[in-house]
Structure 1
């Protein structure tokens, strides 16, 4: 099961630890959902998801401030005795001494952020969704081409890295070479990234490993990128028929999500970088509502219709 260390969340979200004496090194978050324990503070604990990160905003804070001390102690004990990974107070709100005392007794970390509750919730959910998304690793190269995430796949040695290098020299950005970690962020979105060990590196046969970030600058690399298009490179087969119109889209599937896929035959003289650029621009154009293949088909149909009309008039 994927997990994120609480320490990573504190560092990423710039949270202040209000209970530094509690050891948080082994605390992990295993799901992207969060919970605002308003009903629990009111005494309703049915279906309480204690394993989620708990968020306390101004409404919850105002409610517990108005409770009598005896009731506070009762609710605090019941809430904090659950196996809660951490509680975050938004808007720089600080828990009272009784809350802090009971939290430390039950070893529940208390954190604080300056951000508004809704803004913090949106940010933490988005970030956790990416970090905890289902993940697979595939062999290929991922490049940001004109803002479109192009995943180049194919047999080892077919020229994926060389195509990526040419794209980088033409001003596009490398995400990862050789191994692509694909995360399913939603039913429509796949996000690709590089393993930490190979980040910003490209392997070129005959030369070895090169550091793209060092050679071409920080503008030539990117940490993550949505995968919009797959280009599968294959050796040219003269006996095989290749799609020359593109009227029907072909798809490949990763983690249950379908992605548009083009099979590109390789032979001497074909410029892979230009082909990848053209495929990315054409894909963007289709998303904007224009399909060149359909436009050609429409023109052919109109031409045929005019030809039949002219024949009818001649008769």
Structure 2
């Protein structure tokens, strides 16, 4: 099923529909755009017909120099059964040949007041965000001091209760139970809540609570970039947990690797404080201050001095 259709583009960029209304339900399968300059010159061998076509001043001024027969031929070839849309920038006049070909083939033709480069930029941004690879993960996403922390763990380990404590401490909830994640660019993961459960938190014994109603609009966020994963697991006596913080484990979500910490859970541990400090420490590391490395270096110096 298509994630984006031509009518979504029209609505998002407030485009003026001129011709080819019957094609506004056409699917858009790629975020790549085409500025058909070579095609205007008659070279259609590698014409990317499945892309949104953007016609700017350069293409239309060249087109105006062609003979009437060439004009008809170019526009007939430009409008295909799969072309999602043709957009004219700068509110320029639509050539008559394009209007006829578009109506015949059912290709929507739009007009925008934006300059071609600005229009292309907005089109690309919109299509990339809508067509980005997506996944859904069972967990809780919280914005802690500007760090998007995805809290994971088995059902019943205390993820939602920890999130509630974090919200009480002034942090912001993004999603509980199910986190929808899309990958933007090469290494950017954006998480949000499914529309049905946005701003809601499920606490065993209390049921479902609305965080925004209880704590105010400042306690929630619609989406957040995920930069840290914290995995909560029940304390295992036989397992060796990292006590220095020198090793950095990674977790792959879609095609992006994210730093992952494993925090053991047992009675008496204040998980909210631990996760809060983990987020602050992660920020410090990104600023170049690594307490574990500094400690190890000092320890090495002490050992070295003792040997002399």
TM bucket, shorter chain = over 0.9
Instruction: Give ranges in structure 2 of 5+ residues lacking alignment.
Output: none
Instruction: Give ranges in structure 1 of 5+ residues lacking alignment.
Output: 310-315
TM-score norm. by structure 2 comes to 0.93
- The corresponding residue for 1:5 is 5
- The corresponding residue for 1:296 is 295
Q: How far apart in 2 are the matches of 1:216 and 1:67?
A: 65
Q: How far apart in 2 are the matches of 1:147 and 1:267?
A: 27
Q: How far apart in 2 are the matches of 1:15 and 1:220?
A: 36
Q: Give the deviation of 1:112 after TM superposition.
A: 2.1
Q: Give the deviation of 1:247 after TM superposition.
A: 0.7
Q: How far apart in 2 are the matches of 1:142 and 1:12?
A: 27
Q: Give the deviation of 1:25 after TM superposition.
A: 5.1
**Equivalent pair of 2:49/2:80 in contact (CA under 8 Å):** no
Q: How far apart in 2 are the matches of 1:151 and 1:170?
A: 17
**Equivalent pair of 2:190/2:226 in contact (CA under 8 Å):** yes
**Closer/same/farther in 2, CA of residues 167 and 73 from structure 1, 3 Å limit:** same
**Closer/same/farther in 2, CA of residues 2 and 78 from structure 1, 3 Å limit:** closer
- The corresponding residue for 2:304 is 305
**Equivalent pair of 1:92/1:114 in contact (CA under 8 Å):** yes
Q: Deviations over 1:118-166 (max 9, x none)?
A: 2222232223222212222110011122221111000112111122222
Structure 1 residue ranges (4+ consecutive) displaced by more than 4 angstroms after TM superposition: none
SS of the residue 1:260 aligns to:
strand
Tell me, yes or no, if structure 1 residue 15 matches structure 2 residue 10: no
- The corresponding residue for 1:61 is 60
**Equivalent pair of 2:81/2:107 in contact (CA under 8 Å):** no
Tell me, yes or no, if structure 1 residue 36 matches structure 2 residue 28: no
Q: How far apart in 2 are the matches of 1:153 and 1:265?
A: 12
Q: How far apart in 2 are the matches of 1:151 and 1:228?
A: 8
**Equivalent pair of 1:140/1:179 in contact (CA under 8 Å):** yes
Q: How far apart in 2 are the matches of 1:38 and 1:163?
A: 57
**Closer/same/farther in 2, CA of residues 275 and 114 from structure 1, 3 Å limit:** farther
**Closer/same/farther in 2, CA of residues 86 and 258 from structure 1, 3 Å limit:** same
Aligned length: 308
**Equivalent pair of 1:2/1:132 in contact (CA under 8 Å):** no
Q: How far apart in 1 are the matches of 2:272 and 2:249?
A: 21
Q: Deviations over 1:221-270 (max 9, x none)?
A: 22222210100001122332211101110111222322111111112222
Q: How far apart in 1 are the matches of 2:5 and 2:82?
A: 16
Q: Give the deviation of 1:34 after TM superposition.
A: 1.2
Tell me, yes or no, if structure 1 residue 273 matches structure 2 residue 265: no
Report which stretch shifted further, 35-44 or 54-63.
54-63
